[in-house]
Amino acid sequence: MSDPISANELAKHLRGLSLYLVGMMGVGKSTVGRGIAQSLNYRFFDTDTLIEQVAQQSISNIFATDGEGAFRTLETQVLTQLSRQTRSIIATGGGIVTQQDNWQQLRHGAIIWLDAPVEVIVQRLRANSREAEHRPLLQTSNPEETLTKLLETRRDLYANADLRITITAGDSPKAVVQKTLVGIRTILHPAIAGSQNN
């Protein structure tokens, strides 16, 4: 079946609405976000990157020197600024959904949950050990157990998203981008999308 509307038409139907990608660390929000932004001719922002720019230090250092509370405060400040943007794809940190104040900002756009099993996330992080080293919450003796517990506490929060995209082990970033674009069509035009949300 061909896509009901093209990416260009989809961007027009969005009418400038920004899209927020939520989900666990390591699911590929930044990579997928850049792909979606390119397809829709949107701008791309990564909250973690902006936090590091504002703080002029790495997230690992923020956690080590000031604690998670300070990081969450910065995260909310950055998100508040981003919520004023239009035509933007915004990749958020995995824990952004845990702060109630952030939901008011996220609701300025459509929220998309990139959902991958813990095994897939662990596999990806192991394939990129350098990335894993920059994840403060994973600096434990058993990262897989840590991820499992984090997902258990956040799953119901992620489920408040407007759209859920299920990621499997065999999905390439390009495939996830396409899944997401199709999914966006279903929430904008459910009558013509011809498929259920992933």
Give the side-chain half-sphere CA count within 13 A for 113.
Answer: 22
CA distance readout (Å), 176 to 107, 116, 180, 181: 23, 11, 6, 9
**pLDDT tier at 4, thresholds 50, 70, 90:** low
Residues of the domain holding 71? 7-190
Rounded-to-integer distance, Cα 98 and Cα 101, Å: 9
Q: How many domains does the chain have?
A: 1
Residue 1 lies in a domain: no
Residue 197 lies in a domain: no
Residue 87's CATH number: 3.40.50.300
Please state at what angle helix 59-66 crosses helix 68-82, rounded to 10 degrees.
Answer: 130
Q: Are 48 and 134 in contact (CB under 8 A)?
A: no
pLDDT at 20 over 60: yes
103-162 tens-digit pLDDT = 999 999 999 999 999 988 888 777 665 554 556 655 666 778 888 999 999 999 999 999
**pLDDT tier at 41, thresholds 50, 70, 90:** very high
CB atoms within 10 A of CB 124: 18
- The amino acid occupying position 69 is G
64-101 tens-digit pLDDT = 999 999 999 999 999 999 999 999 999 999 999 999 99
The pLDDT of residue 34 is 98
Residue 101 lies in a domain: yes
pTM, rounded to two decimals: 0.88
Give the closest residue to 4 by CA, choosing from 197, 189, 196, 154: 189
Residue 104 lies in a domain: yes
Rounded-to-integer distance, Cα 111 and Cα 90, Å: 10
The pLDDT of residue 186 is 85
Residue 129 lies in a domain: yes
Residue 52 lies in a domain: yes
